[in-house]
Amino acid sequence: MTAGMLRAKLTAGALLAVFALGAAGDPAFAGGDEYDAAADVQELGPAYFGFVRDPRGTPIPEAEVLLRPKTGDPVTIKSNVLGLYRSHIRKGVVPDDVSVSCAKDGYKQMRVLRRTPPGGKDMFIETDCTLQKL
């Protein structure tokens, strides 16, 4: 084996090791959000989540989403750049007793669609809002 061939094998081996070490680190995801799945624990009660979009499916960022239980204080949150919202109210709130509405200046609410069937004991309650530009 010549010195050039040995050097090429060592270089290839070093590059392979660098790539293998890089792949073992934390994964990177494109287009994610700030949501932390570890925060969704039973002690906080059900997680209410969904998207705020226009009729064509375009996300509406910074829309106010109001989670209003029959009793107790409502929770107001804002949708992120992807139109996603996610929050908890409190433990003990029955999901069927919570109404969801969305608003943003320059828009009117067209529809609120609950995708999680009512009557369940689900930990995750998905509700999507459709807003139309005025």
Report how far residue 33's alpha carbon sits from residue 51's, in angstroms, rounded to the nearest whole number. 12
* Structure-token match 């375009």, residue found: 58
The per-residue pLDDT for range 88-131, each reduced to its tens digit, is 888 888 888 899 999 999 999 999 988 776 666 667 888 999 99
The per-residue pLDDT for range 43-90, each reduced to its tens digit, is 678 889 999 999 999 999 999 999 999 988 999 999 999 999 999 888
Instruction: Supply the Cα-derived Rg of the chain in whole angstroms.
Output: 23
Residue 59: DSSP 8-state:
B
Q: Which CATH number fits domain 37-133: 2.60.40.1120, 3.30.830.10, 3.40.50.2020, 2.30.30.90?
A: 2.60.40.1120
The pTM assigned to this predicted structure is 0.67
Q: What are phi and psi of 18, to 5 degrees?
A: -65, -45
Both tokens of residue 63?
């829309």
> Is residue 29 pLDDT above 90, yes or no?
no
Residue 10 is predicted with a pLDDT of 43
The per-residue pLDDT for range 44-53, each reduced to its tens digit, is 788 899 999 9
Residue 125 is predicted with a pLDDT of 86
* Structure-token match 């925060």, residue found: 39
Map out the domains of the chain as residue ranges: 37-133
Task: Residue count of the chain, please give it.
Answer: 134
Residues 6+ apart with CB under 8 A from 91: 42, 43, 44, 45
Give the start-end residues of each E strand in the chain. Answer: 47-53, 64-69, 75-78, 84-88, 98-103, 107-114, 124-133
